[in-house]
Structure 1
Amino acid sequence: SASADSSYEGTTGMLFVRFDADGGISLNKGVTENSFISANNAAVDGSGNVYLSLTRKTEGSKSKMSVAKYNSDINKIWETELYNNVNFGASGRGILVDNNSNIFVTGKTEVSKETGTLDESFLASLSSSG
């Protein structure tokens, strides 16, 4: 698998598509970013809010992990950057929201060791307000 630093650089975006019970498209919304963004996993709470585990990367920098919350109309409510060391990359992997609206995310980061870097996994929790 690719390391946390091997993400593509450049302008990208995300496409949100919601289907109704009959399979028709009920929402189709694109979000364009000025840098690389990748949604690695999604979760939806009981109110229809969408939570994304994201990896972002700008030209010349290490990848960064963040979590974003969108309302049911796919308008961004907030985005929170998690542990991101300028010397090492980080990326989002998984996300879930429990019945109390607590958010749990997993990701991958790099840490320094005597002979280079070591890939590490992490688990973090956030409140519904980020």
Structure 2
Amino acid sequence: MLSRAIILRNTVMVALLNVGLNLVLIPLLSDQGVAISTVIAELSAMLLNYWTCRDIVNLIILNKDTCKNIFEVLVGCMGIVIVCGLCERVSNIFIQIVLAVSISGLVYVSILLLLRNQFLFKLVKQLKKK
């Protein structure tokens, strides 16, 4: 695994990037600048940590089960995006949020069940035993 010095170096580099981006983007874009700088910093952290331990990560990412799980999650997320898009038509924001959260959860779990997600099936088996 990564040594503490490498983790500290990566964390400091990403923190400096985030602060620098905040200094530039907040005056220009206000709240959106914060969001953009955070996304860029988090993406940079992911890429930097991937590069640092790519020999370990490649073994996991290239695994058949991992690819299947990533596909299932992406399909489930597309279902959530569609539900949230449909819920935007509701005028009351409170009802919109309640509908989006509850229906999105049901759609996501349904998609995982249809795709026979291994984790979900194990969870259901454990719940049946209790």
TM-score normalised by length of structure 2: 0.24
More strand by share: 1
- Higher Cα radius of gyration: 2
What TM-score do you get using the length of structure 1 for normalisation? 0.24
Higher helix proportion: 2
